[in-house]
Chains A and B, each alone.
Chain A
Amino acid sequence: MLEFLRSLWFRIGSRVRRDSLDSELADELRAHREFLEEEARRTGATEDEAARMAALRLGNGTVIRERTRDAWSFGWLEALARDARYAGRFLRKSPGFTTVAVLSLALGIGANAAVFTVVDRLLLRPPPLVTDPGNVYAVNVRRISNPAKPRPFYSAMMFRETLALQETARSFTAVVPYTAPGRWRLGRGPDAPRIRGSMVAGNFFTVLGVRPALGRFFSPDDARPDVAEHAAVISHGFWERHFAGAPSALGTHLLLSGVDVTVIGVAPRGFSGVEMDAADVWVPLESVAPIRIQSNWQEWDGFGSKAFVRLRDGVSPTAADAEATLILRRLPDREKYGKSEETVRLGSVIPGRAVAEQPAEVKVSSRLVIAAALVMLAACANLANLLLVRALTRRREIALRLAVGITRRRLVGQLMLESLIIAGLGAGAAMLAAQWGGGALRSLVFPQMQWASGTLDRRVLFFSMACATAVALLATLAPAIRMTRADVALALRSASPQLAMSTGRWRQGLLAVQVALSVLLIVGAAAFGQSLRRAYDFDMGVDVNRVITTRLFLEDDSLDGAGRRLMLDEARRRARVIPGVERLSIAESVPLSGNGVTRVSVPRGDSGFSVVWSVTPDLQETLGFRLLSGRWIQPEDARGNPVVLVSETMARRLWPEANPLGQCARFGADSAPCREVVGVIGDLRTRSIREEAPMAALLSTRELDLDELGAYLVIRASGDPRKLMPQLHNAFRDVRPDLATVEIKTLSEQLDYDYRPLRLGTAMFGMFAVLAVILAGVGLFGILAFSVAQRTSELGIRSALGARAGNLVRLVVGEGLVIVVVGLVVGGLASWYASVAVQSLLFDTTVRSAVPFAAAAVLLGVVALCASAIPAWRAARVDPAIALRAE
């Protein structure tokens, strides 16, 4: 080691003093020559003879100097630098090849890295910044409402349930109830922005073990119903957005949906609790819930609470499940809250391993990983192909260099170095692509999410680069070794077809692989696209495309029902005169805003839970329900016996054999009046296009109960509803000076949650498919162009023997088509079997149907024809005289 260092030092020193060393060596050699000459003269030689003898004994001065310099220099390192310069020059001289090679690598690696950075966080990591996340579990509750016909579903909990766990469960060291982040108004005025707020139990932060970035988290004193002022912790992102990251944020008052809170702390960057979507602000459940929900919020019958727990050491999750299940089933007054059979299952807080249904984006993202890997494979195949072709076109150059004496080792080394440079450039470009693409992808898929880490993941990048490098080296090494072994004379004399033939199979195979990968991606994109189309067209039971819902809030919610009605009447009067407003009604709730569920029962018959909706006669038409049989609710119904319209599903389930019209059903408590069914409407979806149609019912009502929450105006536009929105906004602002907030949305906007994963799949699969198709097109073009160039003389002979241009074109196009067809068949089969991976994510679409496969075939067919056009044209124009003379 010491010796190595000394030698290194000597070399470095030599490097610096090179010129003086050179002259020193020259002096030394001169001195030596003089000694020799003197010796020769002593034996009686003449001057000339002495000089000749001396030169003979000393040897070739240049060789000596060269060899000596080897001792001074870094030999291999300098050779490497020279080779790198040479390779760089060569790559610059063929910019087309270099660009395509680098780009295909950049896209392949970049796509992978970008997708993985998203998916890694979603599927594989516990929520960031949580201490010891291994024993933090989410509490999932599986409910069966009718044990006779079990339809289990996972739901959130009631506060009384989570609070009971908190008080009695011994399996946990802590139970933390909280609410999922919802949209809260920030400040006053009609244009008050919405932020995401969450109510959390006072022990939320301490149980998760996070430390504040600024200020403090909740103390037990903050988490009491009788606090002097409500405390709030804000997220790091909100702190930067709203307070520009200033420490003076502490102590600031915020008005959150009418609740005055004081900022006491800032959460660290990237912290999002155990949810994927971060809240902007957290407030103590114990102090704020009495205001935001109701004074006895613990008894509220809504499924408003979520919870996570820390498991006690030594308790197995299964044992904890059993204890928690028992606690829930032993709660008092269960009848009152809508009886169901609860089973608790603790689930991982790592999203990819959650027990309850994963968000669709998470699932789509995990498929995107596969798609990105396919792109990577296609890129590698393309690169290999490019390198193989390139190796062939360089045969003469390589033969020449071998002929003038370069060693094989050095030559192969040089070729590999070129590939390494390409891989390096590709990796560099990929980093840019991943940085940009990862950021874009994150904001596309999870606009709400806060990210603790950067977009670049070192492991992914490293892995992708290793793949790219391995491919580049393999694709170079094989032909390089063959070529350098080839008979130099033969290679120089003619373009020997031998090598072209032997690598031809490989190249065609690689291209077929690329085509097959493209098929997979196109089929995926087409299936997602079709799903998106179907989702847009899906019948929700109401007319989502032309309906706008508006919600009016007053600053102090002091208005009673009558006051509210006055305000709404005024708003209605102003809105009605806006051109383009076709119908307009008042409603207490609107579709897709999480409608309430009530127990429904048929006397001496079946029972279950139903979505219910109190409607005025005009509302049923404004929303565009479809009446299948019977009649609408009439104004007279409000005065007489209560009636009901039931959905198709309810009709089928409650009266499987009988005609539902004229039957009666009871909604709510057993003391409620039995309502006569006067009509059947088309099925409704109230939360998502994906949900199975729930039982739903429209109840006649005398007067809407507007004391609850805000009130809605439902407007049906005659044209594009979006155009009405600014005018509506202006109209409502004039209604009352103290009008706090107007929220105007189209119904279809609220379905965005459903559309988003499909859009994501369509966009990403589509983009990847385009990349893969372009790569395949470029690859095909390369192969055919090369093949035409190789076969110029053959084509010339054919042409001389009387082949027409058409025949030659067919020859070339045919070669391409065979490859594409093989790729299509392989890719088609692969897609057929791989379709199970995405099938569950699609909407009303089967992968194994004609459209996706036809799309792939047509698209690739067109690309193949385009790619063969120019080579075919060249083949057709081969002049036999020139072609034959050229050899």
Chain B
Amino acid sequence: MPLKLLRISQKKKLRGEKAMANIGRRGFVKGATASALAFTVGGAEVIMSAGQARAKGVPFRLLDAHQGETLEALGETLVPQAREAGIAHFIDHQISVPPQESLLQARIFNVRPPFADFYRAAIKAVDSGSNKMFGRDFTQLPAVDQRQLVDSMRQNKIEGWTGPPGALVYAVLRADAVDVVYGTMEGYEALGIPYMAHIPPEKRW
């Protein structure tokens, strides 16, 4: 099922003084339709957060089931509640759009597009490391072993590691997990931080 990133309505675009006059102050946002994640479900386009997409069982576009489960397990190890917040759906969506539309922190970490290549290589490296350390894929490890592997990966201390550097995999996936758990309006609320948007993200994303 195709996933699509909605762009801001061109009709609603504002420029210069007109924009200032209309936007003016916080909480007085007129006409600014923020982008959101749009999932196509049963032929209808539905805007929802990654967590909602996970809860509704929206199929992945690019990831296979094992890759999705591994990203969820890694995300949950890095930041509690990342699984439920839809880290795998978030990443799957973001690697399926053109790199210039992607919202991944991979951009900031100077990861070279296509970003899907980085995540596939990272998952492969994590499973390879997991099998070397514990004889099983990452998803099959108990939480204590998952934490040990992530801690070793963070410090580039897994022998025979292949693929993107472990510390980079740790930093990028941790950033993704922070995004879905703490980067949303709900995440701010959970920490008791006033969000104070000028132009709020649609669907609180």
Task: Please say whether chains A and B are actual partners in one complex.
Answer: no
Q: Which residues of A are in contact with B by a Cβ distance under 8 Å?
A: none
Could you tell me which B residues sit within 8 Å of A by CB distance? none
